[in-house]
Structure 1
């Protein structure tokens, strides 16, 4: 039996620019490691993506809660100036059928003058992988 499973999430926010973050993740249940891709899309049609790695863990509380912590893996040879240069994310998920809470930060360009997108009010919704690939 495989210990790998896919997890696809769409994270929306009401901040300026209405960014939507799509997370396509592969979780290894043996060691709770997570790998995948994060793609941000803005209301004006602009989009950018970054590879991510992280960890999946259970949170001790009165209810079943899970957390995903991710960090970006910037491209070794960036092809465009506006590729993400850094990414951090914390997502808390009550269950697969309830929305989760997300905060994340993505930086673009030169670290000395980076353009930063920071979301503290993200709402994560689990999606079926088949539906996500159709988008």
Structure 2
């Protein structure tokens, strides 16, 4: 039995952060179709909590007849001291309507204490709560540390 190779493309999210790059919704839809034709397994398409353009993309992308690719919405763990069910970023991810979500969280203790201004224990609870929330909502979760 052969091994399956899974390709995770982040062009529409990470690639869009380059200087002078600004994909329109049409650009993102066309790139999604092209990546699907190439057989890309996962397309990380953006953060629905970050801007109206990504919200529109996720609404329209649900209508694409993709045969090979799964679209993943990207976002962070819940914020500290906010229940995941009330976290605006997590709710936006859920509203994106994708079967897959990519959750990023902090894994370096300095980032946890100096950027998130929380404890290592609370950081782990933030990760656990967020992953559990999306699994209970029927989503596939990819954790990006």
Normalising by the smaller structure, the TM-score range is under 0.3
Max radius of gyration: which structure?
A: 2
Larger strand percent: 1
Using the size of structure 1 for normalisation, the TM-score is 0.25
Larger helix percent: 2
